[in-house]
Amino acid sequence: MISKAFTARAHTNIALIKYWGKKDQQLIIPMNNSLSLTLDHFYTDTTVYFDSSLKHDVFYLNDEEQDASKISRFMDLVRAQAELKTFAHIESVNHVPTTAGLASSASAYAALALAASKAAGMQLARQDLSRLARRGSGSASRSVYGGFVEWKRGNDDLSSFAVPIEENTDWNICMIAVVIDKNRKKISSRVGMQRVVETSPFYPAWIKSSEHDLATIKKAIKERNLKKVGAIAEENAMKMHALNMSASPHFSYFEPATIEVLHLVELLRSEGICCYYTLDAGPNVKILCSAEDSEQILKRLAVKFDKKQLLVAHPGPGVELISKK
């Protein structure tokens, strides 16, 4: 017996206030609340069906068969919720570099949560979909929604989920991704953040200051104050990367070209262009700016980088079912 196949599309999100550390590694309960912007340019399409003739889950990513052990642990959660014993066929295409610090795990698990739960016959409310996506990758809890999204850390499986802040934001902002390295990062987000929790002497200070950053950025978003939003996001990102350098053994996702971009953004700012940077667990830089300034910023970046390395994104939608081509 083969179930109906469902295809879901989820967009990645870039955190302006970062999630960096877990209170519960198994349930993926974070140490702090985080806030992100879902992006239109980067996304994952995932198709799932259950097939009773399969002896194990089968997983294809970008047309190549993958080891299914991690995804199977997630599918076990879906099976448990749906009271199903059948294995699944999962096919996914990333329209975002995989494991490169461009949040492929966020779009991946948000798309998988919707496609798998539907194929299993479930009709989850968005809050429960966010909780399910969270179990695959914490940042995926936020990709259930579009626009600005907050992940409320909660304190257990039921209370830890994302909520939309402005789903269909009319704010004409722009995120330019400077892709410095598309390859797999050396330290996964999962491993990096756990090392920080366990060894950085500055971790308690991070928790305290990220709470403050979150409260102030929410106000600034409401006020449409790009200067404030950008400044808070930039400082929050640098605090996260400072944690990595203060861990034992210490590590950093920065490459020489990363620093070059940071300096260029600071130079542009000194010239009066309102732009700010943020970075996730990888060397690639995302520049937050207004849509009107993006052309000018791209021109300056194009002096040092190939056009193919410069990708422009805007606020994007939440996860949805699509019909497969």
Contact residues for ligand DP6 (CB under 6 A)?
Answer: 15, 18-20, 28, 34, 103, 105, 137-139, 189-190, 280-281
Binding mask 52-71 for ligand ADP (x = CB under 6 A): ---------x--------xx
Please select the residue that binds ligand ADP; options are 21, 30, 101, 147, rule is CB under 6 A: 101
Q: Rounded CA gap, 260 and 255, in Å?
A: 9
Is 174 an interacting residue with respect to ligand ADP (CB under 6 A)? no
Q: Rounded CA gap, 318 and 284, in Å?
A: 23
Q: Of how many residues is the chain composed?
A: 325
Alpha-carbon dihedral 41, 286, 91, 318, rounded to 10 degrees: -60
The least distance separating Co ion from the CB of residue 74, rounded to whole angstroms, comes to: 14
Burial (0-12, 13-18, 19+ Cβ within 10 Å), 37: buried
Q: Considering only 101-109, 152-160, 196-204, 221-229, which stretch makes contact with ligand ADP by CB under 6 A?
A: 101-109
Q: Considering only 24-32, 205-213, 277-285, 312-320, which stretch makes contact with ligand ADP by CB under 6 A?
A: 277-285
Is 309 an interacting residue with respect to ligand ADP (CB under 6 A)? no
By DSSP bridging, strand 173-178 and strand 285-290 are antiparallel
Please select the residue that binds ligand ADP; options are 16, 28, 31, 108, rule is CB under 6 A: 108
Joined together, the tokens standing for residue 204 give 């308690």
- Compare residues 15 and 116 and give the one whose CB is closer to ligand DP6: 15
- Compare residues 38 and 86 and give the one whose CB is closer to Co ion: 38
Q: What is the DSSP string of 174-229?
A: EEEEE-S--SPPSS-HHHHHHHHHHH-TTHHHHHHHHHHHHHHHHHHHHTT-HHHH
Q: Considering only 75-83, 93-101, 166-174, 222-230, which stretch makes contact with ligand ADP by CB under 6 A?
A: 93-101
- Compare residues 86 and 94 and give the one whose CB is closer to ligand ADP: 94
Cis, peptide link before residue 30, omega less than 30° from 0: no
Q: Which residues bind Co ion (CB under 5 A)?
A: 105, 189
Residue entry with tokens 């499986």: 157
Q: Which residue blocks in the chain are alpha helix, DSSP H? A: 69-82, 104-119, 126-136, 189-199, 203-222, 226-245, 256-270, 294-301
- Compare residues 108 and 175 and give the one whose CB is closer to ligand ADP: 108
Residue entry with tokens 């003739």: 53
Judged by beta carbon distances under 5 to 8 A according to partner kind, the member of Co ion, ligand ADP, ligand DP6, none in contact with residue 71 is ligand ADP
3-state secondary structure (DSSP) of residue 168: coil
Beta-carbon-side half-sphere exposure of residue 175 (alpha carbons within 13 Å): 31
Q: Considering only 96-104, 119-127, 156-164, 263-271, which stretch makes contact with ligand ADP by CB under 6 A?
A: 96-104
The least distance separating ligand DP6 from the CB of residue 287, rounded to whole angstroms, comes to: 16
Please select the residue that binds ligand ADP; options are 13, 38, 44, 284, rule is CB under 6 A: 44
